[in-house]
Amino acid sequence: MTVTELLPLIGIPIVVAGFALKFNPLLVVTVAGLATGLSVGMDPGTLLETFGEKFINSRSLAVYVLILPIIGLLESYGLKERAQDWISSLASATSARILMLYFVLRQGFGALGLTYIGGQAQTVRPLLAPMVEGAAAARHGDLPQHIRDKLRAHSAACDNIAVFFGEDIFIAFGAVLLMDAFLKENGIAGIEPLHLGLWAIPTALAALAIHMFRLVRLDASIQRDVDAWKKTNASNANEVTA
């Protein structure tokens, strides 16, 4: 092969080198795309038009790129603090109850194909985790970092598990269509996406029941952790005094 024929492959070493050097992935992919386009003779105008077209067609990417700056702006104006203050004013709110409600809503929306209503970046980090922490702080006072980390982990897990088992019920979900195509390609007929969605319901209900059981124990677990932390602090204070 000639050098001219190899030029369109220039994007591959750029991606490999960029990831190996731990550069920003979006920057690496963009540079690789520009280098590949220019190497095959695309003029800058056509190249930018192609980038814009692919960006618009990739709706999920557009959603994240547009949402993340908005979330960052809201956080800079105190979104997390307002969420914590509001949830702290509700006497009946506990960390477990908030997560239970979110789990049910997230799984229900996932079953309807509305997977973008919620998520780690747009909901868990700026809203759910601060509300869960605020509810715990209202009951136990100032929380140590390891307990805050535990609550954040439960918040993230709640979102992941709910949407993972809920989205398979939606018959137009990509994974369901992939399984349907795989079965048909291997000669397994008579199984439609509707059947796959129906058989996903028992799994989703099992995930719901198991996670509800875990969350029922969460408040008591946080109480034990706080008591142990206070006991350790008191013991250390006595040793210092002695």
Confidence band of 47 (pLDDT split at 50, 70, 90): confident
- Entry pTM: 0.69
What's residue 132's pLDDT?
Answer: 93
Confidence band of 56 (pLDDT split at 50, 70, 90): low
Task: Please indicate, yes or no, if residue 25 is contained in any of the structural domains.
Answer: yes
Task: Please indicate, yes or no, if residue 182 is contained in any of the structural domains.
Answer: yes
Residues 101 and 33 in one domain: no
Cα(195)–Cα(198) distance, rounded to whole angstroms?
Answer: 5
Task: Please indicate, yes or no, if residue 161 is contained in any of the structural domains.
Answer: yes
Residues 29 and 138 in one domain: no
Count of domains observed in the chain: 2
Does 59 have pLDDT greater than 70?
no
**75 contact partners, CB below 8 Å, separation of at least 6:** 126
Task: Please identify, among 57, 75, 101, the residue that sits at the C-terminal boundary of a domain.
Answer: 57
Q: Which residue has the tokens 């077209």?
A: 53
Whether the CB-CB separation of 163 and 110 falls below 8 Å is answered with: yes
What's residue 66's pLDDT?
Answer: 60
The per-residue DSSP string of the chain comes to --HHHHGGGGHHHHHHHHHHTT--HHHHHHHHHHHHHHHTT--HHHHHHHHHHHHHH-HHHHHHHHHHHHHHHHHHTTHHHHHHHHHHT-TT--HHHHHHHHHHHHHHHHHTT-TTSS-IIIIIIIIIHHHHHHHHHHHHSSPPHHHHHHHHHHHHHHHHHHHHHHGGGSTTSHHHHHHHHHHHHTT--S--HHHHHHHHHHHHHHHHHHHHHHHHTHHHHHHHHHHHHHHHHHHHHHHHH-
Residues 82 and 160 in one domain: yes
Task: Please indicate, yes or no, if residue 160 is contained in any of the structural domains.
Answer: yes
The per-residue DSSP string of 93-150 comes to --HHHHHHHHHHHHHHHHHTT-TTSS-IIIIIIIIIHHHHHHHHHHHHSSPPHHHHHH
Task: Please indicate, yes or no, if residue 237 is contained in any of the structural domains.
Answer: no
Of 156, 175, 164, 159, the closest CA to residue 204 belongs to 164
Whether the CB-CB separation of 162 and 110 falls below 8 Å is answered with: yes
Print the domain residue range for 32: 3-57
Instruction: Give the mean pLDDT of 85-106.
Output: 88
Does 217 have pLDDT greater than 80?
yes
Residues 116 and 160 in one domain: yes
Confidence band of 35 (pLDDT split at 50, 70, 90): confident
**100 contact partners, CB below 8 Å, separation of at least 6:** 212, 215
Task: Please indicate, yes or no, if residue 217 is contained in any of the structural domains.
Answer: yes
Residues 119 and 24 in one domain: no
Task: Please indicate, yes or no, if residue 234 is contained in any of the structural domains.
Answer: no
Residues 128 and 24 in one domain: no
Instruction: Give the mean pLDDT of 5-23.
Output: 82
Residues 156-177: tens digit of each pLDDT: 999 999 999 999 898 877 777 7
Residues 51 and 111 in one domain: no
Residues 169-210: tens digit of each pLDDT: 988 777 777 777 877 787 887 778 888 888 899 999 999 999
